[in-house]
Amino acid sequence: MAKDKKLVEAITAMEDDFAQWYTDVVKKAELADYSSVRGCMILRPNGYAIWENIQKVLDAKFKETGVENVAMPMFIPESLLNKEKDHVEGFAPEVAWVTHGGQKELQERLCVRPTSETLFCDFYSKIIQSHRDLPKLYNQWVSVVRWEKTTRPFLRTSEFFWQEGHTAHATAEEAEARTVQMLNMYADFCEQYLAIPVVKGQKTEKEKFAGAHATYTIEALMHDGKALQSGTSHNFGDGFAKAFGIQYTDKDNKLQYVHQTSWGMSTRIIGAIIMVHGDDSGLVLPPRIAPVQTMIVPIMQKKEGVLDKAEEIRKKLASSYKVKVDDSDKSPGWKFSEQEVRGIPTRIEIGPKDIEKNQAVIVRRDTREKIIVSLDEIETKLGEVLEQMQSDMLERAKKHLAEHTVEARNWDEFKAHIEKQDGFVKAMWCGETECEEAIKDETTATTRCMPFEQEHLSDVCVHCGKPAKKMVYFGKAY
């Protein structure tokens, strides 16, 4: 038993040190590991399988709306990156450069893509001529590189995986509609599949994407009261089109600039899953995104018939669920710990006594509730348990978000809330970047978003007292 406990004891308690708890979960659940490349992580099978499931769901949703996948080069010539001024300024500090091909110095440096707007724009300028060529709805699933100073698995790494959608439209209205559509898709995905409620809103001028006309974001709240930007959707207007000369002839044969969007979700979202749902025993995966939904653990598996029964149950469940049998020679206690650390939503315990009674025990990972079910009904019962768990997880996360979102009507209240780092602080703001920067300097809190659902808390800015323009969610963030 001492050995069985070891696996769990290796995880630091959340309350003692949240950052260490996070690192422990990432390692013990075998989601990711550090590599020999500075700032780059290795996605291990347990972690990559979650990303694959995220990909599967999102990719199908994208395609339902007409999006097509492409693959662009991973290098961008310096001259191309320099074409849009704000964009290059925004990314220059974290770009990695290729200067040599073999022994020979390159005539023009190539950057390793930090994001691919410039490549898509260059391509669109060549393939878009007429209104008949529009819209273009392209997406790619790739990794990108941003030379980060400090890194943490999933949250900030020099190379990370994501999808980046890039669209070109005939009108500003169409581009805006697509920007909002994709943000809503991300938000629905987070709620329905990841059981993570989000706040939807617009980024301030200071926080928006380099080169964008407007950036929309979904912000999620982690267990420790910090926010995590979980997906963004940008409306570029015709700024990139003008810089790259992307024009089409309209129905009246007039030359027009296209209007563009881009939108992305990355492996960062796995960090959100860990920090929204995890507990002191490890990861807790929402059933709809879990690579393994139930682990069958045979009890006294050497007794005749036990492993056969476990296998029989697996076969029965395999057509409806992602199910595995742990028939390794580890003790059941150790297997339970492993299933818990890895966040597998349920386990099914089956031993000689259960077989005698034609039953099995389903144990929920989140509540540890034990549910005895007849083997005749196990297929439907497991489905019910998983659905219940999925919806309970969302409700708990919603409750946490609601309980950790507070209002600040004056500067003292604001500072007190931020100091506690207890979630989002809603407050009125004057709309001026200088004031936003002063707030950040004094408290380290940043504007997370100007939510689409605005409230009027007072007439004046919480910091400077000037007339208020927007209600803003502030918070400390990853």
Residue with smaller CB distance to Zn ion, 72 or 427: 427
Q: Do 43 and 267 meet the contact criterion of CB atoms below 8 Å apart?
A: yes
Structure token digits, residue 91: 């990314």
Residues that bind Zn ion (CB under 5 A): 430, 435, 461, 463-464
**Cβ at position 435, least distance to Zn ion in Å:** 3
- Secondary-structure breakdown of the chain: helix, strand, coil percentages, each rounded to the nearest 5: 40, 30, 35
| Residue 274: other Cβ atoms inside 10 A | 27
Q: Do 20 and 28 meet the contact criterion of CB atoms below 8 Å apart?
A: no
Residue with smaller CB distance to Zn ion, 74 or 464: 464
Residue with smaller CB distance to Zn ion, 341 or 439: 439
**What are the angstrom distances between the C-alpha of 275 and each of 22, 104, 292, 413?**
7, 46, 19, 27
Residue with smaller CB distance to Zn ion, 85 or 469: 469
**Cβ at position 156, least distance to Zn ion in Å:** 29
Q: Do 157 and 151 meet the contact criterion of CB atoms below 8 Å apart?
A: yes
Give 3's contacts (C-beta < 8 A, 6+ positions apart). 331, 334
**What are the angstrom distances between the C-alpha of 53 and each of 71, 181, 193, 266, 381?**
20, 21, 10, 13, 23
Structure token digits, residue 19: 């950052």
* 166 backbone dihedrals φ, ψ, rounded to 5°: -135, 120
| Residue 406: other Cβ atoms inside 10 A | 16
Residue with smaller CB distance to Zn ion, 29 or 430: 430
Residue with smaller CB distance to Zn ion, 241 or 430: 430
135 cis-preceded (ω within 30 degrees of 0): yes
**Cβ at position 49, least distance to Zn ion in Å:** 46
Residue with smaller CB distance to Zn ion, 178 or 463: 463
